[in-house]
Structure 1
Amino acid sequence: MASKALSDQVAAKWQDSFNRLNRGAPGISGLMGFSRAWAIAADVLHPRELGAPPKDFNTNEVRSAFDVLMQCRMLPMLLESFVEDMRRHQHLITNDVVRYMAEYEASGDPDVIGRLVLLLADWYFAWAPGGELGHTISSAYIVHFQTHLFSVLPAAFASGFKKLLAATLTFFTEGATPSIPVSVQDSKLWPSFELLGLADRYESLIASVCYEHIEAHVLETSAGKWDEPVLVRLREWMADKVVPWMLLPYARGAKTTEEARTMLQGVGSRFDFHVCKTLCDLRTKEMFDIVIDYPDSTPALHDLKECLQRVDQRSQLVQALRKANKRRLLHPGADTKDILTQYVSLIRCLRAIDPPGVLLFKVADPIRRYLRDRPDTIRCIVASLVVDSESGDSLVDDDGPIQPLQSPQVDDYTDPNWEPEPVDAGPDFRANKPSDVVSTLVSIYDSKDLFVKELQVLLAQRLLAVTDGNYEKERRNLEILKVRFGEAPLQVCEVMLKDMTDSRRIDQHVQSQSSSVMHPTIISRHFWPQFQATKILMPGQLHAIQESYAREFTTFKPDKRLRWLSHLGSIRLDIQLQDRTVSADVPPLEAAFIELFSEQEVWTVNDLIERVGPIERPAALKALLAWVDRGVLREENDGTDMQRFRLLESAPTDAGAVPVGMTTAGSRVALTEEQPAVLTVQQQQAEQMKVYWKFIEGMLTNLGGLPLDRIQTMLKFAPGYDRTPDQLGAFMDAARREGLVNVKDGIWRLNR
């Protein structure tokens, strides 16, 4: 049994509750009013079937009933009853969700998702309590309705909802098309998203739809289009097409334009960033082709520069370019001239994107190292410096002023205009690196002496190729080169140019004293590069013409003597045969051979070589077969190993004669290439190293095995030695491959 105190306490609470429900009315009249108010409120909140006619309630009675419940502190109990009532009817919504999702999974049509969303909105309105009932009831209803809805939506709803969002964005940007779902065009769709809480729940999904739409549009409209700026056009497209759609999910509830602009400021900046990032990614992938297309691709470079200022992807650009250069450019199949052309375009492109030159420094390093290892790089650079402007092969623009070669300088920290290096510059970077293209190309090598030597060789070849006596073009080239390299290194070139003009003057004087069919080029032996070492002795009347010209020259220049390079030049011949005259411009070796056929009609190759001089047999065969092609000689085979050639005084008339230009030895002629008169720098260095080999051989004979650095130190005492350790190492490797030396543990020894 309960104590009297507990009984009194329970009785007091019952009495308090009764008084609260009865509201102080006499009898139980107040309690009956509470029951009537509960019945009205429960009937108002009771979930109804979708499509059922709405109940007709007196607004004043409903408001009074809820006031009674609030006075009686029974509103929480009413909400619990309402939530439980909703839970008992939730199967109606679940059935619709299951039915529509099954239809979507079977068809993949986002319109099904749109119709489902509109149907769920109808369910929401069918069960929703009136707003006049207060915020507490409305909030409780929204929370419980959305909680149940999200619990029954399957995983496939997210993909369908994403397709539906993409369709709405397409509808805003492109307008109504047959492929646009009907539900997308319903004005209630986006309010339904907001009503059901889908816009907040799938906010990241909405952003991804916009990101993907931006990426697709950028790729579709900008890929491969480099001749016009596209970033401004893309931003205009965003403002005209995408921003109106963005108002729906990101500016919900905005009442004024200024308020909408404020709400869109943050998300708009994110989407503008994504436009720049997508365009930057695209241009990064296309950068190698953009460099090839320069200068037509200049607008694309300006867009990329602006994107890089917005998106920090400089390292990705460097890595992509280095990878593309390695795969498409830096391989043996690429011509050196093409590599240099691409490198020059790369210099100009990256300087347009990044004027300080950090990107260029990082991208160009593998190209410079690769070019430094190519044997013909210097020759290609020099050839581009003196190329004819009308040929279009120059690597250097002639529009800008000609500047002397620039070299990196030490930072002057006392300069008031000094600026620190960029934050992403490497430890070896220097901001004041050469700015012009020529200085950049020359800086591939540590010294410009190699370029000066190659310039001398190239100028010698070009001067010897001039036949009309007009050297103004070469004089202009030399003046330009003097501005770039300075006058002192090119004094030898000045002497070569002077030799050519003096040679014409000397020839005119000799011709005035004794007319001659010979017009030689007279040069100063010590100021010209080394010539090919082949020497031939001109026979017969050709030798007599040389001797006659030499006597007249000695008379005019008593202190000088002519040393003939008979294998160089060209001779105009008119060969008188019995039934025809053959005219041809031929090299001296061909003229010497055909001159010997005036002594006898049949010669063997060995006899001809013995008469003319120490020449290579392939060169002799080429000269003889050239006359065979002209129909002047015929090759005979008498069954021995001796090759004979016969002079054809009469043209062959037999049907079996070999047509001109179709000799059986034609393939051998094609295999023999014409050698330039002047030795290249590499050939001159190879000839010099043959001399230094005698020193190396003596060292290794007397001292035994030596390391490479010791050989280098001792060779510095040899006159004229200026090779680097790397060049000496390459030479020793070549000697090892020929079996002259061997190396073990870094020690070089002679092979006994």
Structure 2
Amino acid sequence: MPLSNHTGLNDALRSQTSIKWQECFNRINRGQNNLAGLKEFSEAWNLATEAWQPRNINDPNWRRDLNKVEVGKAILLISTCRRLPGLLEWLLDAVRDNFHLIIAEVDVYIAHFEETQDPLVVLQLVNRVREWFNAWSPLTEYITSAWPAGTSSSGVGLSHTILSQYTAVFQRHLFASLPPAFAAAFKALISATLRRDDSGLIPLIPHHKPLWDAFEIIGLTDRYESVIAAVGYERIEEHILASCAGEWVETQMDKLRAWMTEVLIEWLLLTYARNAVGQDNARAMMQGVASRFDFHINKVVCDLRTREIFDIIIAYPDSMGALHDIRHCLQRVDGREPLVAALRKANRKRLLHPGADTTLILAQYVATIRCLRIIDPPGVLLFKVADPIRRYLRERPDTIRCIVANLVGDEDGGDTLVENEPVQPLHQVEVDDYLDSTWEPEPNDAGPDFRANKPSDVISTLVSIYDSKDLFVKELQVLLAQRLLAINNDDNERLDKERRNIEILKIRFGEAPLQVCEVMMKDMSDSRRTDVHVQSQKDSVVHPTIISTNFWPPLESSDIVMPGQFKQMQESYSKEFCVFKPDKKLKWLPHLGTIDMVLELEDRKVEAKVPPLEAAFIELFSTKEVWTMDELVAGVGNVDRIAALKALTTWVDLGVLKEDTENTFRLLEVAEEKVTLEREPRTVIAAEEPAPASSLHQQQAEQMRVYWKFIEGMLTNLGSLSLDRIQNMLKFAPGYDQTIDQLAAFMDAARREGMVVERDGHWKIA
């Protein structure tokens, strides 16, 4: 049974094969007698393959003079016999078998380019490949010329099919055989079409439509589209770096777009819209390309300004153009995070270090606030950039003092820090009102605390570095005390200026916090009236500033006792004051103030305006001419020897005293001639002038020393405690008003002195 079935299957296969073979034979023979049709088909096949055979174009005799009409008829006959696909398959196999001829020439050209780096070599290579392509291309006009009338559309369609398949195979073999160096070589060629010669007018390689048609024919345009775009991008980058780097005064975006229109548009049209029909078609074809190139302009400008952002902020307000460029570019380019990272890195490297003065850091911080408001009005970028600056400033002991000095107008020009800021109350954190029609949600990249720390005016932003404005009010009192005590009795202009400052500060901080400052200003006015009355009763050269101790910040103490006539003047003035105000008594602070002196010596008069210590020393020389350092110090009280040496050096420099031997000084009644004396040089360390009022930092340190006994008792009786628990327990101590940050700073200082130790956030007695 299986044998019978197998036999039947073979018979059916033979029958079917015979039928197919007969159909094919009849189709090729076309029903003619004998083998005449088959012979005609064979001759047509030979003629077609002869016409389409890929040849070596380096051979002078590679061309064949064939009758196009006959070749076209042969191809038409093959197509009629439905054997055109077989002819095309033969052609593609022949192209593959002979492609080594093209590969050999490509390798020669690429090697030549690598030696010379001449883009003309690459142009020659492209033209040569195009010659090979045209030489091996099937002559499809044979088909259209021989096709019967009325069927031209079929012939055109068939020609397009044959040519497209040939092109695809040719390009596939070409790209598979191109060496890796071809991409760089082709890029050099494209660059040469965009770059100009020394005159700046003529491209190094002619930039015209035939060149790009050649690229299109052999498939280079699509294959290396990214390379072509990269050339345009690099040209944009070079121009922006050359023309925009460091140019911050005016915005550059309009100039860059004008340059793109003048220089790049022609190149882009031939590159991406060379086959456009009319301007509308060209505009439609260029829309996507122009958008990509415009995006790249924004990206390059944004990257450049990001690298320059720190210096742009330093140059504010002369860098307004660059700031508007950044704002414009960030609307198209996702460059917010890189901008924040770059500015934070630059701040850490160039600003937030011990070598930078606090006033400089504050000035840069204020400039950063103003610049980032222009770039990003909602303030998200400022919130992210300002946090490290604020934390660093909070750790500096003189930050509050510098801010306050700028609020009241520093005589050294520091008032420019808050210049042009409106005088208004300090900004208060506002709760979101969701019923407000103008309410807007937070930006997507805002941090969790963004709304609570949203920046307002510059002054409020500076004050918000600290948790409480009470610190600033106390520092205001200290600074005001120092400034008032430095004012002479006849300097009404400076006193009026301080009074105006207080009025401005009332607007910012409110009336109640500045009541102490009002008392200080009243003391100054009362002091002048008192002095006028005392002077009317008994004329005196002493013009003291009389203050109310309870309402002024703690003043620096000193053990200086003014000798001789200065003591007599003080006692005389005190008597007259007690007559005028019997319920009050003067307590002199002789180390503060200045004294105008005229020294009458034998041969000259010396006029000097000196601090009290210098005056006290020179007064002692009225009793005898030679004094030792120890005697002088004993004569005025307990004085630091360095300060004493500095005071005596003042008179030595004026030629009033002379140091005969070390630490022994003599009064020069008769001036000596200035001669160079050989003596061992002495290193003098200049001590800073004592401030009339203790700084806020010093006051806080003194207050914390008072509470140390409380802290010591806690840690002794209760063992190790966390900082939060110490803070909560200290709140029960009378008068304790320190923040937890101030407590942490004090505990850290105590740890450095070996008084306490800290482990895992808990403190205990060392």
Q: Which TM-score applies when normalising by structure 1?
A: 0.90
Residue of structure 2 aligned with 1:615, choices 631, 635, 639? 639
Q: Secondary structure at the match of 2:591?
A: coil
Q: Deviations over 1:591-640 (max 9, x none)?
A: 222222222223333333333223223222222232222222233438xx
Q: Indicate if the aligned counterparts of 2:534 and 2:573 stay in contact, CA closer than 8 A.
A: yes
Which position in structure 2 is the counterpart of 1:100? 109
Shift of 1:531: 1.2
Q: CA deviation at 1:360?
A: 0.8
- Displacement, 1:346? 0.7
**Within the alignment, does 1:594 sit opposite 2:603 as a pair?**
no
- 2:688 is the counterpart of 1:673: yes
1:212 alignment partner AA: E
CA contact (8 A) 1:356 1:431 kept: no
CA pair 590-83 structure 1, distance change in 2 beyond 3 A: closer
Q: 5 Å matches for 1:571-586? A: 571-586=595-610
Which residue number corresponds to residue 85 of structure 2? 76
> Match for 1:302 among 318, 324, 328?
324
Q: Distance in 2 between matches of 1:319 and 1:504?
A: 57
Are the structure 2 counterparts of residues 252 and 5 from structure 1 closer, same or farther at C-alpha, using a change threshold of 3 Å? same
1:35-58 Cα deviation digits (max 9, x unpaired) = 443344334323455365865555
In structure 1, C-alpha distance between the alignment counterparts of 2:716 and 2:169, rounded to whole Å:
101
Residue equivalent to 1:734: 749
Name the CA distance, whole Å, in 2 between partners of 1:64 and 1:296. 80
Unaligned segments of structure 1, at least 5 residues: none
Paired letter, 1:571: I
SS at match of 1:572: strand
Instruction: Quote how far apart the aligned CAs of 1:67 are.
Output: 2.2
Per mean C-alpha deviation after superposition, the further-off stretch among 478-487 and 703-712 is 703-712
Identify the range of structure 1 (227-236 vs 704-713) with the bigger mean alpha-carbon deviation. 704-713
Q: Secondary structure at the match of 1:413?
A: coil
1:423-472 deviations in whole A, cap 9, x for unaligned? 11111111772410000000000000111111111112222222323222
Between stretches 30-39 and 299-308, larger displacement belongs to 30-39
- State the Cα deviation string for residues 228-250 of structure 1 (Å, max 9, x = none): 21122222222332232223343
Report deviation, 1:521: 1.4
Aligned length: 737
Relative distance call for 1:234 and 1:172 in structure 2 (3 A) is farther
2:458 to 433, 437, 454: 437
CA contact (8 A) 2:559 2:639 kept: yes
CA gap of 1:220–1:37, structure 2 versus 1, over 3 A, is same
CA distance in 1, matches of 2:652, 2:101: 105
Q: Letter of the 2:512 partner, please give it.
A: A
Amino acid at match of 1:44: A
Query: Which residue of 2 is the match for residue 20 of structure 1?
Result: 27
Match of 1:169 in 2: 194
CA distance in 2, matches of 1:377, 1:6: 103
Q: Are the aligned partners of 1:457 and 1:529 in contact in 2 as well (CA < 8 Å)?
A: yes
Shift of 1:318: 1.4
Q: Which residue of 2 aligns with 1:350?
A: 372
* Aligned equivalent of 1:719, options 731, 734, 752: 734
Deviations 1:255-288 (A, max 9, x none): 2222222222223222222221122111111111
1:38 aligns with 2:77: no
Aligned partner (choices 171, 177, 181) of residue 152 of structure 1: 177
Aligned partners of 2:449 and 2:381: how far apart in 1? 13
The worse-fitting range, judged by mean Cα deviation, of 335-344 and 585-594 is 585-594
Alignment of 1:251-266 (within 5 A): 251-266=273-288
Does residue 1:629 correspond to 2:653, yes or no?
yes
Contact 1:407 1:433 in 2 (8 A): no
Residue 566 of structure 1 and its aligned partner are, at CA, apart by 1.2
CA RMSD of aligned residues (A): 3.1
Q: Which residue of 2 aligns with 1:649?
A: 669
Whether contact under 8 Å (2:478, 2:693) holds in the other structure is yes
2:161 is the counterpart of 1:136: yes
Alignment deviations for residues 167-189 of structure 1 (CA, whole Å, 9 cap, x no partner): 223259995569x25xx457532
CA distance, structure 2, for counterparts of residue 736 and residue 604 of structure 1: 43
The percentage of counterpart residues that share the same residue type is 59
Aligned to 1:112: 121
2:361: which partner in 1?
A: 339
The answer to whether the Cα contact below 8 Å between 1:554 and 1:560 also exists between their aligned partners in 2 is: yes
Report the Cα offset of residue 18 of structure 1: 4.4
1:449 to 449, 470, 474: 470
Contact 1:571-1:586 at 8 Å conserved across structures: yes
What amino acid does structure 2 have at the position aligned with 1:46?
A: Q
Structure 2: gaps of 5 or more residues: 1-6, 144-158
Distance 1:584 1:82, change over 3 A: closer
Q: CA deviation at 1:295?
A: 1.2
Q: What SS class does the counterpart of residue 286 from structure 1 fall into?
A: helix
Worse overlay, 26-35 or 695-704? 695-704
Task: Tell me by how many angstroms 1:345 deviates.
Answer: 0.8
* Contact 2:383/2:453 (8 A) holds in 1: no
Aligned to 2:147: none
AA at the equivalent of 1:748: K
C-alpha offsets along residues 387-446 of structure 1, whole Å, 9 cap, x if unaligned? 259936421122x53111002122222223221111111111117724100000000000
> Contact between 1:421 and 1:431, CA under 8 Å: does it hold in 2?
no
Query: Greater CA deviation, 563-572 or 367-376?
Result: 563-572
Deviates more, 1:55-64 or 1:196-205: 55-64
Q: More displaced, 739-748 or 375-384?
A: 739-748
**Aligned mate of 2:424, from 386, 403, 413:** 403
| Cα distance between partner residues in 1 of 2:452 and 2:719 | 49
Paired with 2:173 and 2:637, the residues of 1 have a C-alpha distance of: 107
Structure 2 partner of 1:472: 496
Task: Pick closer, same or farther for the CA change 1:7–1:449 going to 2, 3 Å.
Answer: closer
What's 1:531 paired with?
555
Would you say 1:280 and 2:302 are equivalent positions? Answer: yes
TM-score by length of structure 2 reads 0.89
Contact 1:632–1:647 at 8 Å: present in 2 too?
yes
